[in-house]
């Protein structure tokens, strides 16, 4: 997927003027949030969340050890682990494997990390027919759009839009019935599933103790992709592993509740190795590709490390006032919402995505609801600090000299009572010509604010002055 | 009660001194002796938000030197207190000596209503305020500091004041400091939603505890000629006659 993170401001305006999208964003996140709250009731929310945070924090801390253990167990189960430093290595491996095995048709389960490395595009380019089989992903593949939401990639599209799209791309009759549309997608994909010789999926949770991978879904398409084709490739970021099976089950409970407000999804596949003798289904070969792609760099930075605890439930988008206003496309790349505002800059380079970590009110709703303990608010602030110092590791470019000087003067004024008081006087004198009826008509930098909001004038005297005068009079 | 230091955040100092005096009036009514150190400026939050850790670190050290001798540091703003309580620790994490001093200050910093309820054990201040009001849960007070019952309890006990629910009271008003300046068109949409919920509520007064939210929401109301007032909780607790500022 080609990043457009530089165009944040433009994309924000464009998406905010889309009435359908705005209406949808007013309805669907609050609804999901309600379902989420209700689904947590049987679990004991606070304790369950705390346990989830601890599991993910421990797992990420012990990542190097857990990954090695995972590889050992996976190998014992008869599957192969392939390490990929970046997207190119991962794609190259999967392409050469497909070629070697003579694969022609690939069915794909939903995987954000595959979007991150443009795996589908790479497969298609090398002549392998590739189909997204998750309904939402199938829709955006046909529509050639990026995912609108981490969990619901096409949640913003209306039935009419999808009907038109299907009619044009797969020749299905037009309909206003969403279920019928699902049926057409199913019909179209059935034949692909039956003839596919390569199945590609992501991984929701990997278990170091047993070498198992968990795949979580509602449609059955992942089950089909992992049991029909003779080769199954599961792609995961290095951060997906947890220590024990029990830990994985707990994270599963949090994942389905945070994602969809469901106690459990319709399908949960736990895969241990390829088909064994005497088993009826499953692939002949299973490869688990473990991708770094910048993650070990994040791991090495203590301030940023908790971003790897993310389990991609998408709940932070659902509670974010910015996401609710600008929508998922505005984040310009694979990941959207608060986790997108953190991961997109970290994976693409801070300089290419600076609006993402500045366009936030730091309200902390994401932190409050994150089931995996990602300190999104703290990381957003840290990215700003990394920008200020021009951090090379994460591709930051320092702000303009003018901006830096402005900040520097400001900090000086806060370091001296004398300068602070002088500044207070200067602000009053300089803005005096622009005061009308107790309001400021102009202030540098505030023209945007003043389009929709009044700004009061500086109080004639500061609290400092008034309080001092009061004490003198006594 | 000894060693209570009042910290007046820069937005209140510069734009809304009446809130500072409302705090003074409430503290005096409750018989709290407090000091106001004239050297104080700002907690450095704008620098933290701008990513200027070096500048913020210097401001933090200065703040600590001024306030560390007090047993309690009280400010009518959740975001400033959060800066003192949490950000200072992060900024000074690599400097053991300063970190220790920051820890001391962090333990002693209280948001205004938190101080009244948790430290003084106050249930009601004792002034009257006539009207119907609702309470906006400012992000830094609700989530960053975990304070919600304290202000509501104080408001519920104000004679003459009827408290009614506000829809989505816990959702951000769209201020976010530099955010509202740099992304005004996004911020505007979010504050519009907040104002709409206020207009739909059975209330004439929107009460909150954060000067930033106050400037944002009040600015939107007055610009659009809408009815309703936005008040800092200290102004309500200080009673109808208000304060001389």
What are the chain A neighbours of B27 within 8 Å (beta carbons)? Answer: none
Q: Is the pLDDT of residue B1 over 70?
A: no
B60 to chain A: closest CA residue: A415
What are the chain A neighbours of B38 within 8 Å (beta carbons)? Answer: 417, 464, 468
Strands A285-291, A435-436: pairing is: unpaired
Same domain, A164 and A25: no
**Could you give the C-alpha distances from A131 to A134, A139, A236, in angstroms and in order?**
9, 10, 19
Which one, of A126, A123, A286, A389, lies nearest residue B50 by Cα? A389
Q: Which two tokens stand for residue B178?
A: 């530099």
Residue ending a domain, among A259, A293, A327, is: A293
Same domain, A394 and A422: no
CB-based contact, A445 to chain B, within 8 Å: yes
Classify residue B85: in a domain, yes or no: yes
Residue ending a domain, among B86, B118, B150, is: B118
Same domain, B169 and B215: yes
Question: The complex's ipTM?
Answer: 0.96
Q: Which two tokens stand for residue B68?
A: 């560390």
Classify residue B244: in a domain, yes or no: no
Residues 6+ apart with CB under 8 A from B168: B193, B194, B197
Q: How far is A311 from chain B (nearest CA, A)?
A: 22
Count contacts between A and B (CB, < 8 Å).
180
Residues 6+ apart with CB under 8 A from A80: A74, A285, A286, A287, A288
Same domain, A5 and A129: no
Same domain, A35 and A123: no
Contact yes or no for A363 and B39 at CB 8 A: no
Query: Which residues are bridge partners to A108 per DSSP?
Result: A132, A200
CB-based contact, B65 to chain A, within 8 Å: no
In degrees and rounded to multiples of 5, residue A231 shows phi and psi of: -120, 130
Classify residue A303: in a domain, yes or no: no
In a mutational test of the A interface, the residue from B45, B145, B183, B222 whose CB has the highest number of chain A CBs within 10 Å is: B183
Same domain, A388 and A366: yes
Nearest to B144 among A364, A420, A451 (CB): A364
Report whether A1 contacts A113 (CB < 8 A): no
Classify residue A301: in a domain, yes or no: no
For chain B, helix, strand, coil in percent to 5 are: 50, 15, 35
Same domain, A119 and A189: yes
Nearest to A414 among B21, B44, B170 (CB): B44
Residues 6+ apart with CB under 8 A from B107: none
Same domain, B137 and B103: no
Classify residue B232: in a domain, yes or no: yes
Same domain, B154 and B191: yes
Residues 6+ apart with CB under 8 A from B226: B195, B199, B220
Same domain, A359 and A234: no
What are the chain B neighbours of A301 within 8 Å (beta carbons)? Answer: none
Report whether B180 contacts A449 (CB < 8 A): yes
Residue ending a domain, among B118, B146, B178, is: B118
In degrees and rounded to multiples of 5, residue B235 shows phi and psi of: -65, -35
pLDDT value of position B244:
59
Classify residue B183: in a domain, yes or no: yes
CB-based contact, A13 to chain B, within 8 Å: yes
Please report, to the nearest 10 degrees, the dihedral formed by the alpha carbons of residues B5, B7, B8, B9 taken in order. -170
Strands A198-201, A205-207: pairing is: unpaired
- CATH assignment at residue A229: 3.40.50.10420
Nearest to B51 among A388, A427, A467 (CB): A388
Q: How does the average pLDDT of chain A come out, rounded? A: 96
What are the chain A neighbours of B90 within 8 Å (beta carbons)? Answer: 378
Contact yes or no for A414 and B59 at CB 8 A: yes
Interface of B with A in 143-182 (CB under 8 A): 143-144, 170-172, 174-182
What's the rounded Cα separation, in Å, for the pair B211 and A28? 31
Q: How far is A346 from chain B (nearest CA, A)?
A: 16
Instruction: Give the position of tokens 């398409």.
Output: A221
Contact yes or no for B215 and A455 at CB 8 A: yes
Q: Which two tokens stand for residue A80?
A: 């192969």
Residues A315, A320, A322, CA angle at the centre, nearest 5°? 140
Going through A62-196 in order, the beta strands assigned E by DSSP cover: 80-84, 105-108, 129-132
Same domain, B233 and B130: yes
pLDDT value of position A272:
96
Same domain, B92 and B130: no
What total number of domains does chain B contain?
2
A186-198: per-residue pLDDT in tens?
999 999 999 999 9
Q: Give the mean pLDDT of A106-120.
A: 97
Same domain, B131 and B206: yes
Where does the pLDDT of residue A471 fall: very low under 50, low under 70, confident under 90, or very high at 90 and above?
A: confident
Contact yes or no for A321 and B171 at CB 8 A: yes
Same domain, B141 and B176: yes
pLDDT value of position B242:
76
- CATH assignment at residue B72: 3.40.50
Contact yes or no for B51 and A417 at CB 8 A: no
Q: Give the mean pLDDT of A269-282.
A: 92
B219 lies in which domain range? 123-237
What are the chain A neighbours of B174 within 8 Å (beta carbons)? Answer: 321, 361
CB-based contact, A401 to chain B, within 8 Å: no
What's the rounded Cα separation, in Å, for the pair A337 and A327? 8
Classify residue A405: in a domain, yes or no: no
Q: Give the mean pLDDT of B175-192.
A: 97
What are the chain B neighbours of A424 within 8 Å (beta carbons)? Answer: 13-14
Residue ending a domain, among B89, B118, B147, is: B118
- CATH assignment at residue A25: 1.10.1060
Which one, of A374, A369, A119, A80, lies nearest residue A239 by Cα? A374
A276-330: per-residue pLDDT in tens?
999 888 999 999 999 999 999 999 999 999 999 999 999 999 999 999 999 999 9
Q: Give the mean pLDDT of A433-445.
A: 94
What are the chain B neighbours of A358 within 8 Å (beta carbons)? Answer: 178-179, 182-183
Residue ending a domain, among A264, A293, A322, is: A293
What's the rounded Cα separation, in Å, for the pair A272 and A212? 5
CB-based contact, A381 to chain B, within 8 Å: yes
Q: Is the pLDDT of residue A443 over 70?
A: yes
CB-based contact, B243 to chain A, within 8 Å: no
Instruction: Give the position of tokens 């938000």.
Output: B49
Residue ending a domain, among A227, A258, A293, is: A293
A319 to chain B: closest CA residue: B171
| A307 alpha carbon, distance to own chain's centre | 10
Where does the pLDDT of residue A246 fall: very low under 50, low under 70, confident under 90, or very high at 90 and above?
A: very high
What's the rounded Cα separation, in Å, for the pair A108 and A140? 13
Same domain, B167 and B114: no
What total number of domains does chain A contain?
3
Same domain, B54 and B70: yes
Query: Which residues are bridge partners to A80 per DSSP?
Result: A287
A75 lies in which domain range? 40-293
Same domain, B112 and B140: no
What's the rounded Cα separation, in Å, for the pair A207 and A59? 10
What are the chain A neighbours of B189 within 8 Å (beta carbons)? Answer: 16, 325
Q: Is the pLDDT of residue B53 over 60?
A: yes
Q: Which two tokens stand for residue A316?
A: 């932070």
Same domain, A337 and A464: no
What are the chain B neighbours of A454 within 8 Å (beta carbons)? Answer: 218-219, 222-223
Q: Is the pLDDT of residue A379 over 60?
A: yes
Q: Which residues of B120-149 are buried (b: 16+ CB within 10 A; e: fewer)?
A: bebeebebebebebbbbbbbbbbbbbebbe
Same domain, B109 and B133: no
């Amino acid at each position: 997927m080609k990043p457009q993170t530089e165009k944040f401001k433009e994309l924000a305006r464009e998406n905010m003027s889309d009435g359908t999208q705005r209406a949808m964003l007013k309805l669907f996140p609050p609804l999901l949030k309600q379902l989420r709250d209700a689904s947590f009731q049987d679990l004991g929310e606070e304790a369950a969340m705390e346990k989830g945070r601890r599991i993910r924090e421990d797992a990420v801390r012990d990542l190097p050890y857990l990954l090695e253990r995972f590889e050992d167990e996976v190998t014992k189960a008869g599957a192969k682990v392939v390490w990929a430093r970046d997207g190119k290595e991962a794609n190259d491996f999967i392409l050469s494997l497909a070629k070697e095995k003579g694969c022609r048709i690939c069915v794909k389960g939903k995987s954000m990390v595959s979007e991150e490395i443009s795996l589908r595009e790479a497969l298609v380019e090398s002549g392998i027919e590739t189909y997204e089989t998750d309904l939402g992903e199938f829709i955006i593949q046909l529509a050639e759009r990026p995912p609108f939401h981490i969990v619901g990639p096409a949640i913003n599209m209306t039935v009419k839009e999808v009907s038109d799209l299907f009619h044009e791309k797969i020749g299905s009759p037009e309909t206003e019935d969403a279920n019928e549309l699902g049926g057409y997608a199913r019909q179209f994909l059935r034949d692909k599933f039956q003839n596919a010789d390569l199945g590609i999926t992501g991984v929701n949770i990997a278990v170091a103790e047993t070498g198992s991978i968990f795949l979580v879904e509602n449609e059955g398409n992942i089950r089909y992709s992992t049991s029909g084709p003779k080769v199954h490739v599961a792609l995961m970021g290095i951060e997906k592993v947890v220590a024990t099976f029990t830990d994985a089950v707990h994270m599963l409970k949090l994942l389905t509740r945070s994602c969809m407000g469901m106690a459990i999804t319709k399908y949960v596949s736990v895969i241990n190795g390829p088909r064994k003798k005497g088993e009826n289904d499953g692939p002949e070969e299973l490869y688990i590709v473990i991708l770094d792609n910048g993650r070990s760099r994040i791991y090495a930075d203590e301030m940023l490390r908790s971003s790897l605890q993310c389990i991609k439930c998408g709940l932070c988008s659902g509670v974010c006032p910015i996401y609710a206003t600008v929508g998922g496309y505005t984040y310009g790349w694979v990941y959207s919402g608060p986790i997108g505002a953190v991961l997109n800059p970290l994976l693409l380079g801070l300089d290419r995505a600076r609006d993402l970590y500045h366009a936030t009110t730091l309200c902390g709703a994401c932190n409050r609801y994150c089931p995996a303990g990602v300190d999104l608010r703290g990381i957003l602030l840290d990215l700003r600090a990394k920008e200020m110092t021009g951090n090379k590791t994460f591709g930051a470019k320092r702000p303009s000299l003018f901006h830096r000087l402005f900040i520097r003067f400001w900090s000086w004024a806060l370091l001296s009572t004398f300068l602070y008081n002088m500044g207070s006087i200067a602000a009053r004198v300089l803005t005096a010509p622009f005061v009308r009826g107790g309001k400021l008509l102009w202030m540098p930098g505030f023209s945007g604010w003043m389009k929709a909001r009044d700004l009061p004038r500086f109080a004639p005297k500061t609290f400092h002055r008034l309080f001092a005068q009061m004490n003198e009079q006594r | 009660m000894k060693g209570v230091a009042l910290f007046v955040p820069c937005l209140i100092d510069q734009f809304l001194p009446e809130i500072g005096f409302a705090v003074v009036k409430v503290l005096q009514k409750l018989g709290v002796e407090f000091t106001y150190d004239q050297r104080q400026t700002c907690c450095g939050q704008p620098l933290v938000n701008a990513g200027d850790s070096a500048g913020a670190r210097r401001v933090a050290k200065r703040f600590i030197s001024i306030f560390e001798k007090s047993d309690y540091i009280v400010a009518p703003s959740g975001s400033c207190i959060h800066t003192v309580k949490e950000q200072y620790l992060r900024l000074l994490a690599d400097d053991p000596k300063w970190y220790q001093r920051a820890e001391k200050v962090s333990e002693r910093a209280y948001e205004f209503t938190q101080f009244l309820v948790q430290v003084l054990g106050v249930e009601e201040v004792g002034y009257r305020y006539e009207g119907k009001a609702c309470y906006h849960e400012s992000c830094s007070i609700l989530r960053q500091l975990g304070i919600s019952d304290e202000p509501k309890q104080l408001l519920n006990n104000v004679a003459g004041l009827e408290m009614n629910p506000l829809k989505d009271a816990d959702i951000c008003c769209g201020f976010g400091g530099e955010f509202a300046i740099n992304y005004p068109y996004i911020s505007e949409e979010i504050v519009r939603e907040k104002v709409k919920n206020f207009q739909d509520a059975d209330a004439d007064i929107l009460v909150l505890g954060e000067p930033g939210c106050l400037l944002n929401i009040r600015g939107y109301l007055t610009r659009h000629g809408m009815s309703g007032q936005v008040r800092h909780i200290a102004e309500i607790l200080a009673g109808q006659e208000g304060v001389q500022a």
